[in-house]
Amino acid sequence: MKKEKNQISRRSLFKGAAHAGLASVLIPLGAASASTREILNENEQLKRNNISIDPSILNAEAKILTPSVIYASEGIETNIYFDNVIFSNLPNELLAIDITCTKGRQYDKFWRISPQTTDTGTIEFKIEVSFAGKIIASKTSELIITGKNNGAGSSIKVLCIGDSTTAGGQYISIINTDYQVMASPSMTFLGSRGSTPNKHEGRGGWKFSQYAGDGGQSTWQFGLSGLAESPGIGSVYTDGKSEFTISEVNLSGGNGYVAARRSKGIDNPSVNGTLTKVSGNGDTLIPFTNSVMTAANPFWNLNTQRLDFKKYLMDKGYSMNAEDLITVHLGINDVFLDVTESKLKGIRDDFDKMLSEFRAVIPQINIGLCITIPPSISQDAFAVNYASGQTLKRYIENYKKLVEFLLSNYDTPEMRTSKLYCIGFNYCIDRTNNFQKTTMKANARSTQIIETWGNGVHPDNTGYYQMGDALYSFIKSLVS
């Protein structure tokens, strides 16, 4: 019998798909109109074709990258987005994803819980991924749900270390805005960046290696007094010979110091003098005293050329104890362009170096490794940010290897016993709705304005707020 024009044989379809190692779509194999040749879910496809597919034909495989412990808290919505944590050589639309949990609800693209008082406790949370009726991946975690009043009357100090996703302070500020009024716990955020109470140690573009070393370019610290308007981060000042961009502001009542990196010129500032504003916020003229060179990394001691957390605490006038918390959210800049085994080993060595120094000063202090957030859902965002320099597909492959590496090394019972915890920043962000958007003309000849994604790796404020929800839920579990 002569085949109709659009008919495709089963043999040719699966031979080609198996050779490629993936299938982007499965279409009806009988004659059908173009309007019905759409992507179908697995069960519908198999039913229509009346065939049984062995997953090995398409080399079907998947990995589930959720931490072993998921933290939630009464009254705070927690989401686990499947595209964030399930990685397969087949599109997720072709997979059967099944959540086994006595709490929460499974939707098409995510699982969600908004815990009530009766939900508190520790519950099993299991994800199974199947293709053609066979399970190809499974992961069981503990879901720990804390009550709203857990830890009432307690307090904790939190030092958040990170890159540009911490530098804006949004996930810290939403905790202070939304949750500090609750019964527990009282939280004080520490750091040389941001403004009280939203302090932190976030620096745009930074990697694990910079926080484990001197950070790169040194900065200058200028002693100031009697300021009417404080300089802003990013403001530029000159001493008449070189220009300095403000990177840290530590002032109270117009007195204290600012730190700045030399951004133009080669001359070092004098010990005493006057800075004149070139751009940004702050007084036009700022007399300074006692200018000294400091490391870009606030935890680095220039004199001894090593990490020195004790000096950091002394310089800032901070005190922390074993019940307090240090969080680290890094990785985007480490693997953005490429990832290798040696690079991953370097990340582990650098993070372990940081851990050793923190623990040498405060044995058994709580450490939270925030699992790196995923990128936007759309290649359009990468086009806006990186032109043709990087694609979503390439970065997501690097990202997947990073997250798998972090979980395999640090998401273990032994690490949790030592008070190092993995915090699920990776599963909690809505990559479709909570990443930065932009608008543009549909094309040069069109008058239509369309909305698309505008940032590849940075959420909008609502995405940062979801990170804050995850961090707060973890802190609630820690102090309970």
**CATH number for 106:** 2.60.40.10
Report if residue 5 sits inside a domain: no
**Residues 425, 340: one domain?**
yes
Q: Is the pLDDT of residue 176 over 70?
A: yes
Q: Is the pLDDT of residue 139 over 80?
A: yes
CB half-sphere exposure, 8, CA atoms < 13 A: 14
Q: For the segment 253-292, what is each residue's pLDDT rounded down to a tens digit?
A: 888 888 898 999 999 999 999 999 999 989 999 999 989 8
Q: For the segment 420-433, what is each residue's pLDDT rounded down to a tens digit?
A: 999 999 999 999 99
Report if residue 3 sits inside a domain: no
The last residue of one of the domains, among 294, 319, 354, is: 294
Sort 48 into a burial class: Cβ within 10 Å, 0-12 / 13-18 / 19+.
middle
Q: For the segment 21-64, what is each residue's pLDDT rounded down to a tens digit?
A: 343 334 333 334 444 344 445 555 544 444 455 666 678 999 99
**Residues 315, 178: one domain?**
yes
Report if residue 186 sits inside a domain: yes
The last residue of one of the domains, among 93, 128, 146, is: 146
Task: With residue 208 as reference, give the H or E element that holds it.
Answer: helix 208-212
**Residues 22, 38: one domain?**
yes
Q: Give the separation between CA 30 and CA 36, rounded to whole angstroms.
A: 11
Q: How many CB atoms lie within 10 A of CB 99?
A: 16
**Residues 142, 290: one domain?**
no
- Among 44, 62, 64, CA closest to 130: 62
> If you average pLDDT over residues 403-430, what whole number do you get?
98
Mean pLDDT, rounded, of the chain: 88
**Number of domains forming the structure of the chain:** 4
Q: Specify the pTM.
A: 0.82
Tell me if 117 sits within 8 A of 148, measured CB to CB: yes
Least confident of 216-220, 360-364, 434-438: 216-220
Report if residue 1 sits inside a domain: no
Report if residue 189 sits inside a domain: yes
**Residues 306, 182: one domain?**
yes
**Residues 192, 248: one domain?**
no
**Residues 35, 120: one domain?**
no
User: What is the extent of the structural domain holding 74?
Assistant: 63-146
CB half-sphere exposure, 107, CA atoms < 13 A: 10
Report if residue 278 sits inside a domain: yes
Report if residue 4 sits inside a domain: no
> If you average pLDDT over residues 192-197, what whole number do you get?
90
What number of residues does the chain have? 480
**Residues 336, 402: one domain?**
yes
For CA atoms 173, 435, 88, 48, the dihedral sign is: positive
Q: Is the pLDDT of residue 11 over 60?
A: no
Name the β-bridge partners of 220.
Answer: 260, 293
The DSSP code sequence of 9-58 is -HHHHHHHHHHHT--S----SS---GGG-----HHHHHHHHT----GGGG
CATH of the domain at 424: 3.40.50.1110
Tell me if 197 sits within 8 A of 203, measured CB to CB: no
The last residue of one of the domains, among 93, 113, 146, is: 146
**Residues 386, 466: one domain?**
yes
- Among 65, 68, 69, CA closest to 82: 65
**Residues 262, 403: one domain?**
no
